[in-house]
Amino acid sequence: MGTLKSDWTLKRRIITGIAKGLCFLHQDCFPSIPHGDLKSRSVMFDENMRPKLTDFGLSQLTDPHTPAKEQQSEDLYRFGEIILEVLSKGKLRSAGEVAQAKPKDMLLREIWDENEVGGKESLQEEIKAMLEVALMCTRSSRSNRPSIGEALKLLSQLDSP
């Protein structure tokens, strides 16, 4: 059980760390900086396995006419896809549309099975809440997606001591 808990703690730290990085770019920088090309390959790790975003802001150089808000919304969508990728151990890569189309209870059972959660209710609930954030971020309508600050707030509520 210790391995499962530490594996899950690492996944939670990775997802929350990416959200914190995006929140910094979107909300703390002035002017805000959309990442513009967020994907799992643009996340590097320091010696303590804390995620660091790379290659951000390059879209502003190559496509300066796309409004920052649109690019931030696309960042959110791709962040949701990264959550799905982490939760599924890489099986749901670039799968926002697939996840939205699949019945949520089926998707949840697949993710629980992939993470070998079994009857551990606290982990089941945490994964369910994290999946909810991923599904909110990958909504097809940009106006129905949360801001990265809202997503981070939801994820931060999952942090356990």
Q: How long, in residues, is the chain?
A: 161
CA 117 and chain centroid, separation: 20
| Segment 4-53, tens digit of pLDDT | 566 888 999 999 999 999 999 999 998 888 998 899 999 999 998 899 99
What does the alpha-carbon distance between residue 108 and residue 124 come to, in Å, rounded to a whole number? Answer: 9
State residue 1's pLDDT score: 38
61 vs 124, more confident: 124
Q: Specify whether the CB–CB gap between 109 and 119 falls below 8 A.
A: no
State residue 118's pLDDT score: 77
Question: Quick one: which of 141, 139, 135, 74 has its CA closest to 106?
Answer: 135
pLDDT for residue 153 is more than 90 = yes
Q: For all residues of the chain together, what is the average pLDDT?
A: 87
What does the alpha-carbon distance between residue 88 and residue 82 come to, in Å, rounded to a whole number? Answer: 10
pLDDT for residue 134 is more than 90 = yes
Peptide bond into 31 cis (omega under 30): yes
For helices 148-156 and 121-137, what crossing angle results, to 10°?
180
What does the alpha-carbon distance between residue 135 and residue 151 come to, in Å, rounded to a whole number? Answer: 11
Q: Specify whether the CB–CB gap between 16 and 37 falls below 8 A.
A: no
**Which residues are marked as active site?**
37
What does the alpha-carbon distance between residue 22 and residue 20 come to, in Å, rounded to a whole number? Answer: 5
139 vs 66, more confident: 139
